[in-house]
Amino acid sequence: MPTIHIHADESGDLRFDPSGSRYFTFTAAWTYDPEPLAWRLHRLRFGLLRDGHGIERFHATEDRPWVRDRVFGAMEAMEGWQFASVIVDKTKLYNPLREPLRFYPQFLSIVLRFVLRGRLRPGTDRVLIYTDRLPISRKKKAVEKAIHLSCAECLDPRITFHIYHHDSASNPWLQVADYCCWAVHRRHEHRDRTYYDRIRPRLAADELFLWP
């Protein structure tokens, strides 16, 4: 039976002073067939290791421009996956929503509900939701609350779901979600849509902009 793999990531920070980001971005990238793009990224990384570049994982913020270009090239070349994003304008948030235990269930759940309500194939019997490893216990509770609420609200009780918090180095799809989220966030935070335009064909719907 079909299993959907959903990978969630975020960009921005929860600082609410002038040195913080203006926007916070949540992104979900999903696929029913994770192997082809994962294999392509593994092959790319091992080729770079062979050439003397000690890359443990791909991370859009940290990667050199020429590495980033090759990762986006791999993502562009593969079909069978999509992503979606939610943009939060932090300057419009009132104080209670700035707390992680309110912030994540309120906003991460929006992008998850978009996938769970409208992107599941008929007959899907299993949903796997992945995030990067979360070292801060309070944040982990907030993220898990958001995921559980979304699944309880959107999924037929007969559909099984699992939540995994894995180090992104172990899962190329978490790296895909990171790259998608970085590209969307960069479009709004820095008015640079160079990379956003490259992967826009995989965008399931224009990003939802909250409190524009």
Q: Please state, in angstroms and as integers, the Cα–Cα distance from residue 196 to each residue in 47, 76, 202, following that order.
A: 25, 11, 10
Instruction: Report how far residue 208's alpha carbon sits from residue 25's, in angstroms, rounded to the nearest whole number.
Output: 10
CA atoms 158, 204, 181, 35: torsion sign: positive
Q: Are 91 and 22 in contact (CB under 8 A)?
A: yes
Q: What is the number of other CB atoms lying within 10 angstroms of the CB of residue 28?
A: 28
pLDDT in tens, 103-141: 988 899 999 999 999 999 999 999 999 999 876 677 788
Instruction: Report how far residue 109's alpha carbon sits from residue 3's, in angstroms, rounded to the nearest whole number.
Output: 20
pLDDT over 50 at 212, yes or no: no
pLDDT in tens, 9-22: 999 998 898 899 99
**Would you state the torsion angle of the CA atoms of residues 33, 82, 45, 171, taken in this order, to the nearest 10 degrees?**
-60
Check residue 100 and give its pLDDT: 84
Helix (H) or strand (E) holding 63: none
Closest CA to 189 of 21, 4, 15, 14: 21
Q: How many domains does the chain have?
A: 1
Average pLDDT over residues 168-192: 97
Residue 91 three-state SS? helix
pLDDT in tens, 70-114: 999 999 999 999 999 999 999 888 888 888 888 988 899 999 999
Q: Please state, in angstroms and as integers, the Cα–Cα distance from residue 53 to each residue in 45, 64, 107, 180, 193, following that order.
A: 9, 11, 37, 23, 28
Q: Please state, in angstroms and as integers, the Cα–Cα distance from residue 63 to each residue in 50, 68, 116, 173, following that order.
A: 17, 6, 31, 16
Q: Please state, in angstroms and as integers, the Cα–Cα distance from residue 7 to each residue in 17, 64, 84, 129, following that order.
A: 29, 23, 11, 6
Where residue 136 sits, what CATH number does that domain have?
A: 3.30.420.10
Task: Provide the domain limits for residue 199.
Answer: 3-210
